[in-house]
A and B are shown apart, each in its own frame.
Chain A
Amino acid sequence: MSHSPAVVRTGNSGSERPPQHRSALLKRFLPLGFFLPAFLFVAAVSFLPLLYALTQSFRAADHMGMGAFIGIDNYIRFFGESKGIAALWQSFIFVAGTVALAVPLGFALACALNRPLRFRGFFRTVLLLPWLVSNLVVALLWAWLLNGNFSPLAQMVEFIGLSLPNATTSAALAMPALIMANVWHSYPLVMIFVLAALQTVPAELYEAARIDGAGAWQRFRMITLPLVMNTTIVVLVLTTLHTFNNVTMVFIMTGGGPVGATETLALRVFLEEFKYFHTGIAAAAAVVIFSLNMVFSLAYIRVLRSEKTNVN
């Protein structure tokens, strides 16, 4: 990777190769030299641990070392003893709840913001704020807002004659609370992606449709929807992945409790290693979560491919 500019210009240093030849060599390998450092770096920190985890998942691994080969024992133990199926179910509810609320909300807000409005910039900034704060902050803010004792929400609930239990420690409310906090954190990404897509729709299309007598609903159905569909699917997949892999928010807001009511798969992986120190089982769980991610991602890549061929 040590290309010096001097080599290109002179090329007359008495070597066997004629200058054009050298230049051609440089032309050929220079781009590789520019790309490889980034690639090797990424590969070392992403693929290596993945292989490591894969190996560990078939061994009686602990903090000391790899341990003996034990076949698929870790996987069996993860799904058996470690309530892997229950964790998968909690993940499913968490993802489904978030996507079902955050995507329509973000979509609707994008449509609203795409109109000529007063204070549009103000609304856009305010509506994006939840996205800027970290998972940790989201978890703490909502835990504090949903506590049953001192929060204004509890006051509102009391006003209609009910009492609000502490949401993060209530078996019935912990998951809805988690979903609510995550929707709050997730809808801005949907909003901004869909808004971006809406702004690329040429105004002439609407003009033409209007002249042809298409109503608002028809214009939306025939022009807007097809043109923003791909973006919406992409951002839906992104939201799914973010939610599915979210450890921080769950860990801090409920810690998986009460009694495992919010123990998602991602959290389970984290707890297996950093709480129970079951390295082997944690590795197996990590492989499971990685495989599921790949399944989601294939859908994502499909959409991206079709977007390339259809739209552009």
Chain B
Amino acid sequence: MSTKSTTAGGKAFPKSGKKGNRMTETVTYVALIAAAVFALLPLMWGLSTSLKPAVEASTWPPTWMPRHLTFDHYATVLNNPKYIRYLLNTVGVTLAVMLIGVTLSAHAAWAVVRHRFIGKKTMLFLMWTTIMIPGISIIVPLYLMAVDVGLYDTYAVLVIVYCASIVPTLVWLLRGFVASVPAELEEAALIDGCGRIAVFYRIVLPLLRPGLGAAAVLVFVTVWNEFLIGYALVLGDEHRLIQVGVYYFVTETGIEWGPLMAGMFISVLPVVVLFASLQKFFIQGLTGGAVKG
């Protein structure tokens, strides 16, 4: 693995050579275009399927450009009240997780960065550890516990479990943003007679807005794309989320690829739109601000 990657990376810094320069540049572009084709191939084929009549989707040889362009599959999906229900459920749960999760995490991150308190090291260590607990190893007990306490198949259980699973990551992410707020500002505010708690709400929180935005985006993408918890903790259509909903299209009616792909692309759209508009934010948050423009 290392030899492969190093040779590829060795071409990365061409500024010095003159003859090698052209060559390296061409190779880079060819490699990038090949990779882009790889990245786009499944998406384009799915998109193509969603835009042509069912008959054309199962003809040989396959057609890339739909001969009869149609938006029927999208209409079918959007006229399906179940699908709309799944979408609205997902939006609601996502917003609730954003609100609760980001609030909890912002408070915790401030405490961690700016203060010392009893048991800080231990609790922080335990919290980081939970990032390493895979969903699959607790999903069975979670399911049984949810049934026990009567939370199975409710919005509440989804919000609670999603919050708890993402809060450690959010604290980790927000730590960097809190640290970038100058401590002198807080001290100055304290000297000016601002209360210790008020310092957080009046000084720190407003300056934390980019971090809160990044955290919200992370919540959105995570919850929107999650399948396992949504599958295990929900019974029927009433509280079902979009990913699981799309899956039930497969199992309930047998696979109809056209509407399936259409439904899928509708579910992907919000994430892509959000990402495209907030790309910098998102990547900075993910990598601790290391990637520039």
| A positions within 8 Å CB-CB of B | 3-5, 8-9, 23, 26-32, 34-35, 37-39, 41-50, 52-53, 56, 63, 99-100, 103-105, 107-109, 111-115, 117, 123, 125-130, 132-138, 140-142, 144-145, 149-152, 154-155, 184, 192-193, 195-200, 206, 210, 216-217, 219-221, 224-225, 232, 241, 244-245, 247-248, 252, 266, 269-270, 273-274, 279, 282-283, 286-287, 289-290, 293-294, 296-297, 300
Q: In the assembled complex, which residues on chain B have CB atoms less than 8 Å from the CB atom of A132?
A: 221, 268, 271-272, 275
The interface on chain B, measured as residues whose beta carbon lies within 8 A of the other chain's beta carbons, has a size of 114
What residues of B have a CB within 8 angstroms of the CB of A9 in the complex?
193, 195
Q: Quick one: closest A residue to B251, CB to CB?
A: A252
Given the contacts A132-B271, A184-B42, A199 and B291 also touching, CB distance less than 8 Å:
yes
Docked pose: A56 CA to B291 CA in angstroms: 45
Contact B134 A289 (CB under 8 A): yes
A-B CB contact pairs (8 Å), 29 listed: A30-B196, A31-B114, A35-B117, A41-B167, A42-B167, A46-B130, A52-B141, A53-B137, A109-B35, A112-B12, A112-B28, A117-B32, A123-B32, A126-B36, A127-B39, A134-B227, A135-B227, A136-B247, A140-B261, A140-B264, A150-B62, A199-B292, A216-B20, A220-B12, A232-B5, A247-B228, A269-B139, A270-B136, A287-B137
Q: Given A30-B197, A46-B130, A104-B8, A145–B41 Cβ distance below 8 Å?
A: yes
Contacting pair B32 A109 (CB below 8 A): yes
- A5 to B267 CA separation, bound complex (whole angstroms): 45
A126 and B112 within 8 A (CB): no
B14 and A216 form a contact (CB under 8 A):
yes
Check if A37 sits within 8 Å of B268, measured CB to CB.
no
Per-residue interface assignment for chain B, residues 23 to 36, with 1 indicating a CB less than 8 Å from any chain A CB and 0 otherwise = 00000110110011
Majority SS at the chain B contact face: helix
Q: B225 at interface (Cβ–Cβ under 8 A)? A: yes
Query: Out of B36, B62, B168, B271, which one reaches A152, CB within 8 Å?
Result: B62
Query: Do the beta carbons of B45 and A144 come within 8 Å of each other?
Result: yes
A46 touching B165, Cβ below 8 Å? yes
Query: In whole angstroms, what is the CA distance A169 to B8 when docked?
Result: 35
Among A149, A220, A270, which residue has its beta carbon within 8 angstroms of that of B139?
A270
Which parts of B100-145 form the interface with A (CB within 8 Å)? 104-105, 107-108, 110-112, 114-120, 123, 126-127, 129-130, 132-145
